[in-house]
Amino acid sequence: MEVAAKNSLLVCTQLECETTEEMQASIEQAKVEGADLVELCIDSMEFSHISEVDKLIQHPTLPAIVSYSDEACKNTCLQVLRRALDLDVEFVEMDYEVASDPLMSEIIYSRSNTKIIVSSYLNGGGKPTTEKLGDVIACMQATGADVMKLEIAVDSITDLAPVFEMLTHCQVPLIALAVGSRGLISQLLGPKFGGFLVYGSLGGKSVPGLPTLVSLKQVYQLEHINPDTKIFGLVSNPVGHSKGPILHNPAFRHTRFNGIYVPMLVDDVKEFFRTYSGTDFAGFSVGIPHKEPAVACCDEVHPLAKSIGAVNTIIRRPIDGKLVGYNTDCESAISAIEDALRERQGINGVASHTSPIAGKIFVLVGAGGAGRALAFGAKSRGARVIIFNRNYERAKALADAVSGEALHFEYLHEFFPEKGMILANASAIGMEPNSDQSPVPKEALKAYELVFDAVYTPRNTRLLREAAEVGATVVSGVEMFIRQALGQFRLFTGGLAPEDFMRKLVLEQF
């Protein structure tokens, strides 16, 4: 399944500035970052005379959408929009209520070259449905709109399913913008379902529900997306830390596979898989806190993943649409630890063909999905597994499953029955934004021969820095990330993964 030719998708950014000078500077920055057009939110500006707006509209360096949405200043709104129409700006955007005004209706029908975008903001009134959205679209279309825009407040990622259906079937160009962090895929997947344009934020600014302009152009390259593109993504909460998109999307393009990989902020994993059950949604990485609950969402589970009780990868099998769960965390983490220990032992002249983990005390922090993978992997190599978790009952249950031992979390800092142990952090302690934290004090790290941290943002966590300072071999979560991602990519595409390309990409980005 090869990458398609480029489509005619437009990438836009909304500009809200107080002065003409600031607006012009932002337009120039948008151009540098790859925007195809800009939305000039005139209601954000402070101006004393309409002539100031004229200057902005008459000499743009990018095609523009002129919008004014301050309902409290209706006269100014009408004046600005009329002036934009007189000056033949590329697009004028107005609220449905403004477009329905008899005075504006006359102007709309007598315009020359300007395209009219009529927008409607939906907030409250329950979850969006195809019927509700269809009614709103019909009302907007009746105004004579050339393009329609739906701006929707969503409470869940599953609220977007009827929006995608509207994009697919709408006869008039439609823009869909879902507000809030759970609406991000409305922009990233909009082109697949027929969206007229997508929005990105300027200057790397973090805006909930919006990708950055730079990521749209460099990471996602949505101009290659088409109706046949297969959707993959990280099902997690949170998802902001994920480096998956900067790895999988370039790898898809490198191998000419027609796919896109996006972050999916999911609250209810069962509802998510019930909602997005079509073959377009072809595969998923599964992250915190869904690795264990997602097992129940699968029609089939690979034996290793079943024994672990957690999946980190789910594939929708093309021949029958069934969801099949896998765990690539286990082998990637354990093999990374083994390779590092073999290298250390090789340097000391103590090479061995058996697992260097065998017989060692393997101290595990965390009993979630990643913790389970590490526990089962360590057990399979003959290690003695000791588990610490803030929830002791979870630690005890996992310890029983791997014939290990569970201890209360508060004893972790004073646990050193012998030297040469292995420490593996599978908790979120030390992950950004709490990168100043560590699960184990520096002094206690002297008892460990090797320290592994599944956290990969930041790459060099406080735990790893302090472990290296006391002489331990350290293994970053980045290495586990690379190895499990290679396994996932093979499952996603049904083929080989470009290992050298993907490894180089990750190491450059972290």
**DSSP state letters, 135-185:** HHHHHHHTTT-SEEEEEEE-SSGGGGHHHHHHHHH-SS-EEEEEESGGGTH
Give mean pLDDT, residues 291-314. Answer: 96
Q: Which residues are catalytic?
A: 291
Would you mind telling me the total number of residues written for the chain in this entry? Answer: 510
pTM (predicted TM-score): 0.89
Measured distance CA(330)–CA(49) in Å, rounded: 66
- Gyration radius of the chain over CA positions: 27
Give me the pLDDT at residue 4, please: 43
Q: Report the 10 Å Cβ neighbour count for 411.
A: 9
* C-alpha distances out from residue 53 to 28, 44, 68, 84, 209, Å: 17, 12, 12, 9, 29
Give me the pLDDT at residue 64, please: 96
Give me the pLDDT at residue 242, please: 83
Residue 72 — pLDDT band, cuts 50, 70, 90? low
What are the helix and strand counts (H, E) for the chain?
19, 20
Residue 123 — pLDDT band, cuts 50, 70, 90? confident
Peptide bond preceding 238 in cis form (omega within 30 of 0):
yes
Residue 350 — pLDDT band, cuts 50, 70, 90? low
Question: Structure tokens of 275?
Answer: 């909602």
Which amino acid is residue 342, in one-letter code? R
Which amino acid is residue 14, in one-letter code? Q
Give me the pLDDT at residue 435, please: 95
Q: What percent of the chain is modeled with pLDDT above 90?
A: 80
Measured distance CA(336)–CA(347) in Å, rounded: 17
Residue 408 DSSP one-character state: E
Give me the pLDDT at residue 7, please: 57
Measured distance CA(67)–CA(116) in Å, rounded: 10
Measured distance CA(467)–CA(464) in Å, rounded: 5
Work out the burial of residue 417: count CB atoms within 10 Å of its CB; fewer than 13 is exposed, 13-18 middle, 19 or more buried: exposed
Residue 253 has pLDDT above 50, yes or no: yes
Between 69-73, 376-380, 453-457, the lowest mean confidence (pLDDT) is in 69-73
Angle subtended by helix axes 130-141 and 161-169, to nearest 10: 40
What are the percentages of helix, strand and coil residues in the chain, rounded to 5?
Answer: 45, 20, 35
Give mean pLDDT, residues 270-293. Answer: 96
Question: Structure tokens of 261?
Answer: 């990989």
- For residue 473, which phi and psi values (nearest 5 degrees)? -75, 135
Give me the pLDDT at residue 389, please: 97
Average pLDDT value for the chain: 92
**Given the structure tokens 């250390």, which residue do they identify?**
344
> SS3 for 277?
coil
Residue 270 has pLDDT above 60, yes or no: yes
Q: What percent of the chain is modeled with pLDDT above 70?
A: 97
Question: Structure tokens of 315?
Answer: 């594939």
Scanning 309-391, the segments in alpha helix (DSSP H) are 329-347, 369-380
Residue 5 — pLDDT band, cuts 50, 70, 90? very low
Order of strands, sheet of 384-389, starting from the edge strand that comes earlier in the sequence:
405-408, 384-389, 361-365, 421-425, 448-453, 473-475
Q: Tell me: the pLDDT tens digits for 200-251?
A: 999 988 899 999 999 999 999 999 999 999 999 999 999 987 889 999 999 9
